[in-house]
Amino acid sequence: MTAIANRYEFVLLFDVTNGNPNGDPDAGNLPRLDPETNQGLVTDVCLKRKIRNYVELEKEDDAGYAIYMQEKSVLNNQHKKAYDALDIKPESKKLPKDEAKARDLTAWMCQNFFDVRTFGAVMTTEVNSGQVRGPVQLAFASSIDPVVPMEVSITRMAVTNEKDLEKERTMGRKHIIPYGLYRVHGYISAKLAERTSFSEDDLELLWRSLINMFEHDRSAARGEMSARKLVIFKHDNPMGNAPAHKLFDSVKVERVDGEADSPARQYSDYHVSVDSESLPAGVSVDERL
């Protein structure tokens, strides 16, 4: 597969209604908040997990789309496989002395595992197949406006332990955000894609996963989450044609006229505009969704 030849940046807008997009283990699973501004946060790794899950669902057992960070096995088995496939004797904690063989191992991992190809992976375990820096880089997502988490108490008409029988019911708690629109920025480097052979097909799969990842991630805690807008900036030059921050500035998310101080409760309370007129030369914009 030939690697992509353009640099990309993207802005993804997604929203949550009556749910918890990403719990904070430090705060008893309350939705993550930026302590200074009260904006909601969703970490990069949370979104990467969802992308991996989507790819796994879509591609199931397709060759070359295996997901490495998944279930019921051990990292080292993966590397052992690479060694077995290439018939190299594992050396403890070091790359094989022969650099070509080390490269083969890494290449094999990239070839077979979508998430290694996309996000990279550190494979400096006891059976070593090197370290890969993937082309796709995600930042933290944060909400446009401050969000107000609510604690909802719920009751259950059953008990867990026999000794609690006379209580008849137990109480539980859920944390939800009534509404939040989140924005996340991503970067894709063509030069790193060359090294992991991240191809055009992989890129299309990544766009699909960004659009659909919430559709397959329904749960009691999440509420209603959906991707609302994906704006893709494509540079003609593999090194890029414009600073990323300037491109991101052209995507504006504002409250609809006259509602600036009221709480937002749906996507239509926001107005999203992409200033595609004043884009720098050599950058094209593609709006999906």
* Alpha-carbon distances, residue 251 vs 230, 245, 246, 260 (angstroms): 10, 10, 9, 18
Q: Does 113 bind another protein (CB under 8 A)?
A: yes
Residue 197 backbone dihedrals phi, psi, to 5 degrees: 55, 45
CA angle 144, 53, 112 (to 5 degrees): 125
Q: Which residue has the tokens 């909601």?
A: 40
The span from the CA of 92 to the CA of 97, in Å, is: 11
Of 66, 107, 110, 206, which lies in the binding site for another protein, with binding defined by CB under 8 A?
66
Site size for another protein (CB under 8 A): 58
Q: Does 84 bind another protein (CB under 8 A)?
A: yes
3-class secondary-structure state, position 74:
coil
Give the residue with the Cβ less far from another protein, 82 or 177. 82
Q: SS3 sequence, 212-224?
A: HHHHHCCCCCCCE
Q: Does 26 bind another protein (CB under 8 A)?
A: yes
Q: Does 165 bind another protein (CB under 8 A)?
A: no
Residue 143 backbone dihedrals phi, psi, to 5 degrees: -80, 155
Q: Does 35 bind another protein (CB under 8 A)?
A: yes
Give the residue with the Cβ less far from another protein, 135 or 180. 135
Q: Does 36 bind another protein (CB under 8 A)?
A: yes
Question: Which H or E run includes 114?
Answer: helix 114-119
Give the residue with the Cβ less far from another protein, 71 or 277. 71
The span from the CA of 54 to the CA of 134, in Å, is: 18
What is the x/- site pattern for another protein, positions 224-253, by CB under 8 A?
Answer: -------------x-xxxxxxxx-------
Of 98, 99, 126, 275, which lies in the binding site for another protein, with binding defined by CB under 8 A?
126
What is the x/- site pattern for another protein, positions 188-227, by CB under 8 A?
Answer: -x-xx-----------------------------------
3-class secondary-structure state, position 274:
strand
Of 4, 55, 67, 132, which lies in the binding site for another protein, with binding defined by CB under 8 A?
67
Give the residue with the Cβ less far from another protein, 36 or 257. 36
Q: How buried is residue 79: exposed, middle or buried, by Cβ count under 10 Å (0-12/13-18/19+)?
A: buried
Give the residue with the Cβ less far from another protein, 77 or 262. 77
What letter would DSSP give residue 92? B
**In the complex, which residues of this chain contact another protein (CB under 8 A)?**
24-26, 32, 34-36, 41, 43-45, 61, 66-78, 80-81, 84-85, 87, 90, 92, 112-113, 125-127, 133, 135, 137-140, 142, 185, 187, 189, 191-192, 237, 239-246
